[in-house]
Amino acid sequence: MRKSGILRIAMLAAVCVASLLAGCADLARKAPVLPVSTTGTRDGAAYRIDIPANWNHELIVYYHGYRHEPVVHDKSKRIWPALDALLTKGYALIQSGYSRGGWAIEQGYAETEALRRDFVASYGKPARSWVMGESMGGALTALTIETRPETYSGALALCGAIEPSNRILDKAFALRAAFDYYFPDLLGPLVPVPDPLPDYKVMRQRIADALAAKPAARDALLRLYGVASEKGFPDIVAFVTQILGELQRRTHGNPFGNADLIYTGSGDDFALNDGVKRYRPDAQAAAYVARWYAPTGKLLRPMLALHDTGDPLVPAGDAFEYALTAERAGHGENFVQQYLNREGHCVFEPDEIARAFGELVDWVDAGKRPVSGKLPQ
């Protein structure tokens, strides 16, 4: 071989070695010093990143539920302590606070995906990623696993609002319209809901006093709603009123209607249907709620849903709609619904979340589909 050829090979080898060393140095710079617990703000959305010292190089992307105002993360406090069991098991966890409060599915979806991409750029691509959310975050979980199956191995929806959003919220609107039939003018107009509303505690007490004064009307509303206790019902009516008002302002119209609804189950149906005020939705506003989000059931990855049977805010029975949606889409085998016998909204213990998540992992790893029904011990 000519001397010049040998020299070129030697120079090429030197360049390759230098490139490899530079790559190693770059990787070394990116290797996180564990544990990591950091907070910040990205494009108006607060975020939190936690990577435990025993990181297993898997990532959980977490969606929080409905908040009236955007979440601001405090590094000294966890948004939901029940998630600690998953950190203990070695999973990294990221969560966005969303740049808007209220029904922020549009913002939460985009901002959480941007945060995930930032995580990959800073800490490397995880071996696997999982998506999980509670309450409104359950809708975001369904949206994410349906639209990004190439990114996530599986999904866990906790007390998730996973039936179509317009169906959930139209039922809430119908309840508030029925409340107004029995208690006219107590809370002001329904379309539009006043802004600002009275202080929440004041409004809740006003509702509680009215219900106590008219027990027949109270009982009719409880039968109509079906899943709330007498004690907790004032909170349901007050919370629903806040949500409806926020979405009217968000959509610049009224997304909701009860014009074609026939009320049943109140024990007072004849009078209620004759007397309740009827509303029709604004088409553009209604289309926004349906867009964010009506699940498609296109599940290419497994999704497990866990509910409390006594959840008064996101009734457990409503999640069956998602099972039907997945079946119609031809992906029913990728959805399982489980429950715990407990009253309250999202009142899960850390070990229960860890058990449900473990079932999801076994489903993905070994093809061991969880059994529908009560969460196993």
Alpha-carbon distance of 50 to 94, in angstroms, equals 6
Least confident stretch, 75-79, 198-202, 233-237: 75-79
Among 165, 60, 48, CA closest to 105:
165
Report the pLDDT averaged over residues 107-130. Answer: 98
Q: Residue 75: pLDDT band by 50, 70, 90 thresholds?
A: confident
More confident residue, 12 or 47: 47
Q: Residue 280: pLDDT band by 50, 70, 90 thresholds?
A: very high
Beta carbons of 345 and 135 less than 8 angstroms apart: yes
The token duo for 222 is: 């409880």
Beta carbons of 337 and 158 less than 8 angstroms apart: no
pLDDT at 229 over 70: yes
**Where would I find the H helices in the chain?**
3-30, 84-88, 105-123, 136-147, 165-182, 200-213, 215-225, 233-251, 269-275, 283-291, 320-328, 350-366
Give the max Cα distance, the chain: 104
pLDDT of residue 21: 40
Report the pLDDT averaged over residues 359-369. Answer: 97
Q: Residues 11-43: pLDDT tens digits?
A: 334 434 344 444 443 433 356 788 999 999 999
pLDDT of residue 14: 41
pLDDT of residue 7: 36
Tracing tokens 């939190």 back to the chain, one arrives at: 48
Report the pLDDT averaged over residues 282-289. Answer: 98
Report the pLDDT averaged over residues 334-363. Answer: 96
Report the pLDDT averaged over residues 109-125. Answer: 98
Among 174, 177, 178, 146, CA closest to 160:
146
Per the document, the length of the chain is 377
CATH superfamily label, 36-164+296-374:
Alpha/Beta hydrolase fold, catalytic domain (3.40.50.1820)
pLDDT at 230 over 90: yes
- DSSP letters of 19-78? HHHHHHHHHHHHS--SSEEEEEEETTEEEEEEE-TT--SEEEEEE----SS-----TTS-
**Extents of the domains making up the chain:** 1-31, 36-164+296-374, 166-290
pLDDT of residue 30: 53
CA dihedral 340, 344, 345, 347 (to 10 degrees): -60
pLDDT of residue 13: 40
Report the pLDDT averaged over residues 223-228. Answer: 93
Report the pLDDT averaged over residues 181-191. Answer: 97
Alpha-carbon distance of 233 to 228, in angstroms, equals 6
pLDDT of residue 80: 77
For the chain, what percent of residues have pLDDT higher than 90? 87
Helix 233-251 crosses helix 200-213 at what angle (to 10 degrees)? 130
Q: Which amino acid is at 61?
A: V
Beta carbons of 321 and 247 less than 8 angstroms apart: no
pLDDT of residue 79: 67
How high does pLDDT run on average in the chain?
92
Output the pTM of the full model. 0.90
- ∠ CA 74-76-81, nearest 5°, is 90
pLDDT of residue 27: 38
Alpha-carbon distance of 351 to 364, in angstroms, equals 20
Q: Which amino acid is at 352?
A: E
For the chain, what percent of residues have pLDDT higher than 70? 92
pLDDT of residue 31: 61
Report the pLDDT averaged over residues 139-150. Answer: 98
Least confident stretch, 57-66, 225-234, 256-265: 225-234
**121 Cβ neighbours under 8 A, 6+ residues apart:** none
Q: Please count the other Cβ atoms lying within 10 Å of the Cβ belonging to residue 74.
A: 11
pLDDT at 93 over 90: yes
